[in-house]
Amino acid sequence: MASRDVYGAVEGGGTKFVCMIGTSPTDVVDEVTIPTTGPAETIGEVIEFLQRPRPGIRLVAIGVATFGPIDLDPTSSTYGCVLKTTKEEWSGARILAPIARRLGVPVGWDTDVNGAVLGEARWGAAQGIDPVLYLTVGTGIGGGALVNGATIHGLLHPEMGHIAVPAVPGDSFPGICTFHGRCLEGIASGPALAARCGRPVPEIPPDDPVWDLEARYLAHGIRSLILTLSPRRVVLSGGVMRQAHLLPRVRRALVEVLNGYIDLPELKDRIDEYVVLSKLDQKAGLYGALVLAERASPRTG
Tell me which residues touch Zn ion (CB under 5 A). Answer: 162, 177, 179-180, 183
Assess contact for 169 and 144: CB atoms under 8 A. no
Q: Minimum distance from CB of 179 to Zn ion (Å)?
A: 5
Q: Minimum distance from CB of 217 to Zn ion (Å)?
A: 13
Q: Minimum distance from CB of 176 to Zn ion (Å)?
A: 9
For Zn ion, which is the closer residue by CB, 132 or 183?
183
Q: Minimum distance from CB of 178 to Zn ion (Å)?
A: 8
Q: Minimum distance from CB of 182 to Zn ion (Å)?
A: 8
For Zn ion, which is the closer residue by CB, 122 or 182?
182
For Zn ion, which is the closer residue by CB, 153 or 162?
162
For Zn ion, which is the closer residue by CB, 59 or 160?
160
For Zn ion, which is the closer residue by CB, 104 or 179?
179
